[in-house]
Structure 1
């Protein structure tokens, strides 16, 4: 604390000779950076000192190593997750009218995979094509209101009704006025339809069909999501990687290499 106060007093002393606000701001920020670096170093020194100690015959550093690894992986996954593009798509549940949702992801190499979270081990695909049957539209008109009538029906004579030759009531007739006070509202309803995304595996070239249920706006989102995907130049190394992965998969199936070796080489080829 004494060092911090000394720094501030020194800064206040020289601030009288600083004419530019930018220069003063720069010096203040520089001071804070130095303080932050010193505080960080002090904390790390204390952590390293703690990790070197033993508790109950066990090294503290060794005990917290898994936690450190998990935290580092979580931070890295969060950073990589932000780099990926994501699109949530509705799908129909089996034997139900309700919709469920899946997340289609596109990584920095323009490979696609389906997962609710960032996943380096998920099967990756190239986009092949998109089909959609379109929406149907219906209109419904609802009319609300009432008809208001003012006036009187007529007059009758006191005592008896006088009938004319045709049996009509003879008497004075009043005038009635009707006012229509209604309002009509027309609503357009959209019914979506099934769409299909075809994705090609980068490992064995097999086609994966993803069924979705979309309205017009959602279909437009899909088209924007898959627009301008070109694997000829941007992923030229990825195509050769695909060939290598196919060969590695064959070696794996023949038990020539282990699953761990295949996974390690796969991550290397895909730049994961």
Structure 2
């Protein structure tokens, strides 16, 4: 299934993408698409619905974050061997964990706002993993049982904040609008092998990133297991799993986002995002 939340910020409704690619309203069936709707049992119930009886959504509504009430937005750094080579950094021996603020979450096509004082805002197309069942210290063998599905994430990053102002990556990762997610959540039954997915990103019509999850240093199963050793993963938590080469920081000379730039990015089978870069706005 492809599940979504759509509508104005703070007023999103749950929806389902039918086999013809049309958005259908689920609000008469579930109140929202949040932690309570992500268990295997709840998802199986939704899968049994006759989608033809669900009303079609009107017009072309905004995509919201496909999961509500996200308690943690966890990220993994330097998790593609070819990206680490691009950055001139050694492959990590263990997954590098940092956190993106939940307040950075935004819809797939919402604008990216340059933070105040930004000099080096960058892009990163990534595979997002959505947790469906509470996971604490789970084994790598069991880890995939705790996954509800997958989505596209743009791990937007301010490199000067991240790398030149102390050792805490979080400062460059958690700014408002720095976490576009979606457009929808694809349940794990539709993604039999998350380690064989093509990823790509275009900036102003030019291909910048092109990769495949097969070059991940640590697999999805390894990441879920590893992170669960250090924090309890709750239903609705999102883990974004690293980016392939082609980020602006790795260009010669480096290239960073500016006002009115346009990004289009996607992952095979998981949909596309479209974002325009806007200047800082107070409030």
Asked which structure has the greater CA Rg, the reply is 1
| TM-score normalised per structure 1 | 0.22
| TM-score normalised per structure 2 | 0.21
Greater RCO, CA 8 A, separation 6+? 2
Which structure has greater helix proportion? 1
